[in-house]
């Protein structure tokens, strides 16, 4: 007879873990997870060592974070290194709709229908069994859980360690290549928030070298992120995301490009989402001239920069390099 161990796929174990971590606000200890969540429990019953189970959980936790699912670690605030009694949870607020959203009767009918399907199919029997076991431990569980969906699209390898450092209140170090510079510099920061702006991820925090708050583009981090043992006050994270986004919006408001865009093209579709009409085309705010120049150059003849002059020069330089590279390649063949 096949055991439960042979039937539980890694993907199902991850789903069961998500359901369990979303089901309680206070979080679950590692021991409660390993003994209650299907995919771990049966391995333990089959004789797997505690060390092996803990390594499996650590891998699963990192896999979920890499998918953009915010697994929070709630440790001992007096000693951030002491994670023996740490609890883990997925904050349900990350998946709640804003209170000011209204739906028409027709939209509600469709949502109710979809919700009914999810409520029956999104939680496996093992997941429901795990919730019953968690309740038996005296831990309050929110039910029913009707599915989940990651909200972010992860690209940069630095995201996961930065997220972990923010959760634990740890200083990080990394090499950062600033726009227009040829060599990277080592940065040491207290990371307070990860924010997405103009489809790019940034980390906002206090730069210990500059002794001021800074925002760093994740795509410019050119080394592994080292999470140090130096802790900072978790209260500094409060409203950090809002402050970061407000700062980026302020920079973008000061920098606007006047563009002529060919109608019906990819450039028109993508740029119009954040553009305002202008007499000679459209005006698009931007944060980083180098990043924006990369984007505009990728559209080729679909877009022309009218102003500012420095952005126009940056785009032309990129197009000339692309032409030279293709010309050299054609000559070589």
pLDDT digits (tens, 9 = 90+) for 73-132: 876 555 556 666 788 888 766 555 556 666 566 655 555 555 444 444 444 455 555 555
Q: Does position 294 have pLDDT exceeding 70, yes or no?
A: yes
pLDDT band at 329 (very low <50, low <70, confident <90, very high): low
More confident residue, 4 or 82: 82
Q: Does position 52 have pLDDT exceeding 60, yes or no?
A: yes
More confident residue, 278 or 85: 278
Question: pTM, whole model, 2 decimals?
Answer: 0.50
Distance CA 80, CA 203 (A): 21
Q: Does position 292 have pLDDT exceeding 50, yes or no?
A: yes
Residue 143, by phi and psi: left (phi above 0), alpha (psi -120 to 50) or beta?
beta
Q: Does position 300 have pLDDT exceeding 80, yes or no?
A: yes
Summarised one tens digit per residue, pLDDT across range 196-230 is 887 678 999 999 999 999 999 998 999 999 999 99
pLDDT band at 190 (very low <50, low <70, confident <90, very high): very high
Rounded average pLDDT over 304-318: 93
More confident residue, 309 or 330: 309
Rounded average pLDDT over 227-254: 90
What confidence score (pLDDT) does residue 3 get?
40
What confidence score (pLDDT) does residue 147 get?
41
Rounded average pLDDT over 5-23: 70
Q: Does position 68 have pLDDT exceeding 70, yes or no?
A: no
Query: 123: buried, middle or exposed (CB in 10 Å: 19+, 13-18, 0-12)?
Result: buried
Rounded average pLDDT over 20-39: 83
Strands across the sheet with 185-197, in order?
A: 212-217, 200-207, 185-197, 170-176, 226-231
Domains of the chain: 4-91+99-136 (no CATH), 159-247 (2.30.30), 255-332 (no CATH)
What confidence score (pLDDT) does residue 187 get?
96
Least confident of 12-21, 93-102, 166-175: 93-102
What confidence score (pLDDT) does residue 303 get?
93
* For helices 50-66 and 10-22, angle between their N-to-C axes, nearest 10 degrees: 80
* Contact yes or no for 172/227 (Cβ under 8 A): yes
Torsion of Cα atoms, 32 then 35 then 41 then 43, to 10°: 110
Listed as own residue / partner, the contacts of 45-54 with beta carbons closer than 8 Å and 24 or more positions apart are 45/5, 46/3, 46/5, 54/30
* Count of Cβ atoms closer than 10 Å to residue 294 Cβ: 13
Q: What is the mean pLDDT of the chain?
A: 77
Tell me the β-bridge partners of 231: 170
* For helices 159-168 and 50-66, angle between their N-to-C axes, nearest 10 degrees: 110
């Amino acid at each position: 007879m096949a055991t439960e161990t042979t039937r539980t796929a890694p993907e199902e174990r991850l789903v069961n873990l998500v359901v369990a971590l979303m089901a309680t606000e206070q979080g679950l200890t590692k021991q409660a997870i390993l003994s209650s969540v299907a995919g771990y429990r049966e391995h333990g019953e089959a004789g797997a060592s505690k060390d092996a189970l803990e390594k499996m959980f650590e891998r699963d936790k990192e896999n979920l974070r890499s998918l953009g699912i915010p697994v929070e670690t709630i440790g001992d605030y007096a000693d951030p290194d002491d994670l023996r009694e740490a609890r883990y949870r997925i904050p349900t607020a990350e998946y709640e709709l804003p209170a000011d959203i209204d739906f028409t009767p027709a939209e509600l009918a469709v949502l109710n229908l979809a919700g009914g399907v999810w409520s029956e199919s999104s939680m496996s029997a093992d997941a429901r069994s795990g919730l019953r076991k968690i309740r038996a431990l005296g831990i309050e569980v929110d039910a029913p859980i009707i599915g989940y969906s990651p909200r972010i699209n992860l690209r940069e390898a630095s995201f996961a360690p930065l997220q972990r450092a923010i959760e634990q209140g740890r200083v990080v170090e990394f090499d950062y290549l600033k726009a227009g510079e040829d060599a990277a510099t080592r940065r040491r920061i207290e990371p307070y928030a990860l924010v997405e702006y103009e489809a790019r991820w940034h980390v906002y925090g206090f730069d210990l070298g500059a002794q001021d708050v800074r925002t760093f583009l994740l795509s410019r981090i050119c080394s592994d992120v080292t999470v140090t043992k130096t802790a900072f006050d978790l209260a500094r994270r409060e409203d950090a995301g809002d402050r970061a986004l407000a700062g980026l919006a302020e920079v973008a408001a000061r920098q606007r490009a006047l563009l002529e865009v060919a109608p019906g093209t990819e450039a028109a579709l993508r740029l119009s989402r954040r553009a305002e009409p202008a007499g000679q085309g459209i005006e698009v705010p931007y944060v980083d001239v180098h990043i924006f120049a990369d984007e505009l150059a990728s559209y080729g003849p679909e877009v022309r920069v009218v102003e500012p002059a420095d952005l126009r020069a940056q785009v032309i330089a990129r197009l000339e390099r692309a032409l030279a590279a293709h010309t050299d390649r054609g000559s070589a063949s």
